[in-house]
Amino acid sequence: MKNKSLKKTLKITYIVLLSITLIPSVYSIVVSQIHTQQYNKIISNVSNANRINGIVKDDIPEELWNIICGKKDVEEGRHYEMMNEITFGLEEMLKITKSNDSRDKLEVATRASATLLRSIHNLIARMSFGSSVSENEALLEEIRTITGLFSDIMQDFIVSESESAYRTNLSIKNTSIILTLILLVITIFALLISANSFMTVSAAIQKPISDMEKLSTKVANGELDARIDIPHVDELDTLAENLNTMTGQIDVLIKKNMEEQKNFQKAEMKALQAQITPHFLYNTFDTIVWLAEEEKTDEVVRITKAFSDFLRISLSRGHEWITIGQELDHIRNYLTIQKIRYADILNYRIEADESLINLKMIKLVLQPLVENAIYHGIKNKRGRGELCVRVCYDDGSRTKIRFEVRDNGAGFTAERLSEVRAELSTGAADSEKLTSVYGLYNVNKKLKLYYGEQTQGLVIESEPGKGSSISFVIPGEIGS
């Protein structure tokens, strides 16, 4: 009779514990699926918006300009193909967008797309009737105005989607709090069950019960790697295994939540990246137009090729990691464009250890440093400026790589240098208060995000009237 009663007590205890351990698992799985779907939709929309924005803002005006200039026949132009791609992209985003604000912006973008298509029709039709070049250029300028409006709408849409992502992140944090409370209740309940069992069973199983009680205390204190040995008692083996499984599941869920938050920060970095140097794009287009008007064909070809390669590496088919050689090519293209614009004040050179060229690094971290050297150093200096980009091993063991951008420009005063260093260490919540170091701040944050404690971020040295040096060090074996 006593054995039967003991068996029944342990059976009831096991059923109760098993049931409550399923609660956080089921809850976490369901909520994680919901959040994952939301993130996937947001990331997909942001990616499509950036792609469509690039087509409207850059590709279509360039394609039409080539037709107007006679570089392409109308039949060879891809403008209608591009418009179809834009229409399809907008339809896809409308299908998956749940935010009313985002849908409103997409509907406005759809109407702007239709207006753009009508303007393209009008331009092609006028050209077929033999309109003059000046008339065609005027129509193209109207089209550029429409593409600019469309680009603004897309940027508003991206901001709206980012706000949706922020709300989703808040929901994840709230979910974590709820899950913690559930686990706390489960832990307390498990302790009560264990105490009741301890009072009921014989001294032969007192130690296994005590071990389970210690485990629950460790879990409550955050020691999620704690486990208990299987007691090799038929009535308790399954319960011990389930407790170990529960602790492992809690550990996995917490790590997964941390990884999701890290991925969200990376998505924010991608959205920030598109806002680093918009003025460079505008200035490049202005330079191309000026060179074309001056009939400097060779220079137009050279700057256009450099700009095309610059954008290709910037996009990198969505990859976050590229080779050091590609990063240097990106800088070389950027400096080629700037050299054409500032031929009288800019000389540059790129020095790199050839053995480093094929190693991987996080992309687009040198260009903001070079841009800063030109706009805040060399342009403020009298006479010709010298700029040097250098990549080499930082130590004899060849485990770390040093990147340096050095110029002989105006430099920083001691007071300004102190302010810049302070602004680089400003928290993300204060990023809107940054002044001229927004690009440097973005690079510094990106280095810390992707390399963590393996890099100390940007190091700035400067002397008034003699120039500046901005450098950083990353691990030698890198890439993703």
Give dist(CA 360, CA 475) in Å, integer. 10
pLDDT band (50, 70, 90) for residue 328: very high
Structure tokens at 269: 């970095």
SS3 assignment, position 37: helix
Collect all residues with Cβ–Cβ distance below 8 Å to 412 and sequence separation of at least 6. 420, 460, 462, 464, 468
Note if the pTM is more than 0.75.
no
Structure tokens at 81: 């193909």
Structure tokens at 367: 């260009």
Residue type, 170: L
Mean pLDDT value across residues 219-235: 69
Q: Which of 29-38, 428-437, 452-461 has the lowest mean pLDDT?
A: 428-437
Identify whether the C-beta of residue 460 lies closer than 8 Å to the C-beta of residue 442. no
Element spanning 9, H or E: helix 2-54
Residue type, 397: S
Collect all residues with Cβ–Cβ distance below 8 Å to 22 and sequence separation of at least 6. none
**pLDDT surpassing 80 at residue 109:** yes
* pLDDT digit string, tens, across residues 189-210: 777 776 766 566 555 566 667 7
- Residue 239: name the closest of 185, 308, 294, 190 by CA: 190
Q: Are strands 385-393 and 400-407 parallel, antiparallel or unpaired?
A: antiparallel
DSSP label of 443: H
Q: Quote the longest CA-to-CA distance of the chain.
A: 107
Highest mean pLDDT among 74-78, 271-275, 386-390: 386-390
Look at residue 460 in the predicted model and tell me its pLDDT: 92
Q: What is the side-by-side order of every strand in the sheet holding 346-352?
A: 346-352, 385-393, 400-407, 467-475, 459-463
SS3 assignment, position 452: helix
- Residue 259: name the closest of 391, 403, 446, 267 by CA: 267
Looking at per-residue confidence, does 264 or 399 come out higher?
399
**Which residue shows structure tokens 């550990």?**
251
Length of the chain: 480
Percent of the chain whose pLDDT exceeds 90:
9
* pLDDT digit string, tens, across residues 111-150: 888 888 888 888 888 888 877 878 888 888 888 888 888 8
Give dist(CA 141, CA 65) in Å, integer. 10
- Residue 91: name the closest of 56, 152, 54, 48 by CA: 48
Give dist(CA 34, CA 38) in Å, integer. 6
Q: Which of 19-33, 337-351, 356-370 has the lowest mean pLDDT?
A: 19-33
Mean pLDDT value across residues 156-183: 79
- Residue 244: name the closest of 234, 236, 235 by CA: 236
Helix (H), strand (E) counts: the chain? 13, 7
* pLDDT digit string, tens, across residues 335-357: 888 888 877 788 899 999 998 99
pLDDT band (50, 70, 90) for residue 404: very high
SS3 assignment, position 478: coil
Q: How far is CA 459 from the centre of its chain?
A: 23
Structure tokens at 117: 């298509």
3 state SS for 309-356: HHHHHHHHHHCCEEEHHHHHHHHHHHHHHHHHHCCCCEEEEEEECHHH
- Residue 147: name the closest of 75, 64, 270 by CA: 64
